[in-house]
Amino acid sequence: MNRRLFALLLVIFPGIAFAAGGGYPLDHMTPNLDDKASLQRGAQTYMNYCLGCHSLQYQRYKRTADDLEIPEGLMLEHMVFDPNTKIGDLIENNMSKENAKFWFGAAPPDLTLHSNLKGGPDWLYTYLRTFYEDDSRPLGVNNLVFENVGMPHVLAGLQGRQVRPECMQVPRIASNGGVVRDPITIEIVTEEMCGTDLLDAGHYPLVKVEGTGSMSSDEYDTLVYDLANFMYYVGEPARMDRTRIGVYVLLFLAFFYVFALLLGREYEKEFHK
Ligand code: HEC
């Protein structure tokens, strides 16, 4: 495509910039900022597993503690590992950009605003669940939504290892586009599909290696949900206030409406004399 036309299209439809990055369909998650327990668990996971590499340098511990209703003392005790850190500090780490670039090939970016980018919390939720083993990569892992990723699968101990099989059984599709079923047992008829045929048909199989990972897949999905929920909160903490203030604004408007109506009637009396 002509480059200028493409640039113009990017301005008009920013979505295509993201759509262009790999065809894997994102799994959906609905953030819930009222679920404080989920946000607290997400914050805990973040501090334990992510902060070592990814700072949240636009967010302070104090604000997080207040918004998530975590007592400040508990936060300092259980979520902050550096004893010199104060509750008013920004959530930073000590990783040097140069070293990180040398170790991973790319420096881990700050993630404060990440949930506002790249497909939002859905992207994070999917990304953290789609690491798979790939011996051709320096760290031995690859990712379905972030191809050739430079980040290790830091949650592998919880999720377990996943492999991407070359072939898998998929439902056979009839010429009318429907799924073929056995006429007697009405079970879905499957057939083996391999390699690029799988991708063309929209299948991206990931299979967990039995006996790896300390969590069941449901438990792991919940952990990642909470983490994505927390990162959604961090992306714009004011969102919490906004919904609360919004309710007051609507109540005020409803209240004010009565007086505006009465005042309007008074004025009407004047000019209908
Ligand atoms: C050992 C260091 C390390 C840890 C720990 C780590 N990451 Fe990463 N992460 C990286 C690196 C390096 C990249 C850059 C990868 C690249 O650009 O190829 C990255 C990239 C990312 C990205 C993509 C950023 C982008 O460019 O869009 C996200 C999101 C992310 N990490 C989230 C997390 C979360 C959530 C955790 C905690 C569960 C975590 N990371 C833990 C090193 C780390």
Using one digit for the tens of pLDDT, what is the confidence trace for 29-58?
Answer: 999 999 999 999 999 999 999 999 999 999
**Cβ atoms of residues 59 and 79 within 8 Å:** no
Nearest residue (by CA) to ligand 1, atom 40, is: 50
User: Which of 40, 165, 56 shows the shortest CA–CA distance to 109?
Assistant: 56
State yes or no: pLDDT of 20 exceeds 60: no
Please work out whether the CB of residue 41 comes within 6 Å of at least one atom of ligand 1.
no
DSSP string, 94-122: ---HHHHHHHHSSPPPP-TTGGGSTTHHH
Please work out whether the CB of residue 18 comes within 6 Å of at least one atom of ligand 1.
no
Index of the ligand 1 atom closest to the CA of residue 104: 12
User: Which of 149, 128, 129 shows the shortest CA–CA distance to 138?
Assistant: 149
State yes or no: pLDDT of 244 exceeds 90: no
Nearest residue (by CA) to ligand 1, atom 41, is: 50
Nearest residue (by CA) to ligand 1, atom 18, is: 150
How do residues 103-122 score in pLDDT, each as one tens digit? 888 899 999 999 988 889 99
Identify the CATH homologous superfamily for domain 21-153+231-241: Cytochrome c-like domain (1.10.760.10)
How do residues 193-233 score in pLDDT, each as one tens digit? 998 888 888 888 899 998 999 999 999 999 999 999 999 99
**Cβ atoms of residues 134 and 32 within 8 Å:** no
For tokens 């497909």, the residue is 119
The whole-angstrom separation of Cα 119 and Cα 111 is 14
The whole-angstrom separation of Cα 222 and Cα 128 is 12
Nearest residue (by CA) to ligand 1, atom 6, is: 50
Q: How far, in Å, is the centroid of ligand 1 from the Cα of 193?
A: 33
Half-sphere exposure of 37 (CA within 13 A, CB side): 1
Q: How far, in Å, is the centroid of ligand 1 from the Cα of 266?
A: 64
Domain layout of the chain by residue ranges: 21-153+231-241
Q: What residues contact 51, with CB distance under 8 A and at least 6 apart?
A: 91, 93
Six-digit token pair at 238?
């004011």
The whole-angstrom separation of Cα 41 and Cα 214 is 17
State yes or no: pLDDT of 1 exceeds 80: no
How do residues 57-100 score in pLDDT, each as one tens digit? 999 999 999 999 999 999 999 999 888 999 999 999 988 888 88
By mean pLDDT, which of 13-17, 99-103, 160-164, 198-202 is the weakest?
13-17
**Cβ atoms of residues 254 and 260 within 8 Å:** no
Residue 75's alpha-carbon distances to 51, 64, 85, 89, in angstroms, are: 15, 9, 11, 12
Q: Are strands 141-143 and 162-163 parallel, antiparallel or unpaired?
A: unpaired
Please work out whether the CB of residue 53 comes within 6 Å of at least one atom of ligand 1.
yes
State yes or no: pLDDT of 14 exceeds 70: no
Length of the chain (residues): 273
Q: How far, in Å, is the centroid of ligand 1 from the Cα of 54?
A: 7
Index of the ligand 1 atom closest to the CA of residue 155: 38
pLDDT at residue 102, as a whole number: 87
Q: List beta partners, residue 173.
A: 179
Q: How far, in Å, is the centroid of ligand 1 from the Cα of 201?
A: 29
pLDDT at residue 222, as a whole number: 97
Q: How far, in Å, is the centroid of ligand 1 from the Cα of 32?
A: 23
